[in-house]
Amino acid sequence: MLRTIHNPPMRIFHNDRHSLHHGRHEMFRGELVPCFEVPARADLVLEELKARGFGRVESAAGVDIGLIERVHAPRYLQFLSTAWQEWIALDPANAGRDALPSYWPIRTFRTDVLPASFAARLGLFSFDAGSPITAGTWDAARHGAACAVAGAQRLLEGDRGAFALTRPPGHHAGPDFFGGYCFINNAAVAAQALRDAGVARVAVLDVDYHHGNGTQAIFYERSDVFFASLHGDPHTEYPYYLGYADERGAGAGLGSNLNLPLQRGTGFEVWREALGSALHAIRDAGAEMLVVSLGLDTFEADPIAGFRLRSEDYLRMGEDIAAAGLPALFVFEGGYAVADVGVNAVNVLEGFEQR
């Protein structure tokens, strides 16, 4: 499908409800610790955008739940939409603490039956104990998806680039599960919106330190969305159980999944080579538009990651993505060196725009 591409100031869709999701604690290495994923992450990116006078920041309208249901199972979304109310109904004192799972239906357990127990359903729809559900989780997550869809619409209307500045992040959220601080997979919803609008083949490029297991799971058996990820080697890095190089897709999706795991301690030169391989594969796949899961936890000072990228490297990242020649929607994901996340995020966008 031929489209005229123009280059106005980049449109940035800011989730003005993101701070409604503010977890108190997560389980980390055997103890409850303050959450690494905090509202200040998005707030500091917004401050940096305004300080540099970069782009045009606006809010997004709502999103059709039917579109989200093309990515996530309806029973999972129904659970998320009422989870906080159920949590409070169990005990009014729960208003002062977040909901974290304690049980999981691993091998040989049934997942087709929806338990009556809230605690059992909380475990059924999650894969870790690090992603608290709070009073505002559903509202923040759903509005985040709206930001991603609004950004996708800008590409459809001819913009070269757009940015969905939203949290909670999304790339760990799968068809029917949350985890890794993620509840709705914003990048996947954006990719689906592009497909529904007639884009024949979309690519999702995940540059977060942690493998986008949720995005892979959503598209693994589909040929219309090509997924490429460069990330910490799952032999040693979260989420551990997915992200290996031999995962190439299945069924109709065979060959449409590319994982490029890298060792802890990887610096920008080696990381950039992997990015080049991913972009080359995306071009060969015939992608017409690109969704970038923009994780900034590849930064050398990130407290829960292990690559060695520096702030200036993010300018080069943006330039390399621009050189691929595809309209690109950037979707904010991880990045937990909070003081630096704004500079690093905007550096990627500047590098993209200046190419």
- For 304-334, b/e burial (b = at least 16 CB within 10 A) is bbbbbbeeebbbbbbbbbbebebbbbbbbbb
Three-state DSSP class for residue 29: coil
Q: For 30, phi and psi rounded to 5 degrees?
A: 90, 5
184: how many CB neighbours lie within 10 A of its CB?
30
Task: Measure the CA–CA gap between 150 and 331, rounded to whole angstroms.
Answer: 11
β-bridge pairing 328-332 and 161-165: parallel
163: how many CB neighbours lie within 10 A of its CB?
30
Query: Which is the catalytic residue, given 21, 22, 72, 172?
Result: 172
Q: Please, which contacts does 5-9 make with residues 24 or more away whose CB atoms are closer than 8 Å?
A: 5/158, 5/159, 5/160, 5/327, 6/158, 6/159, 6/160, 7/159, 7/160, 7/353, 8/56, 8/159, 9/55, 9/56
First-to-last alpha carbon distance for the chain, in angstroms, is 24
Q: Please, which contacts does 70-73 make with residues 24 or more away whose CB atoms are closer than 8 Å?
A: 70/192, 70/196, 71/175, 71/184, 71/185, 71/188, 71/189, 71/192, 71/218, 72/173, 72/175, 72/176, 72/184, 72/185, 73/175, 73/176
For residue 210, indicate whether it is catalytic: no
Is 71 within 8 Å of 196 (Cβ atoms)?
no
Three-state DSSP class for residue 92: helix
Catalytically active residues, by annotation: 172
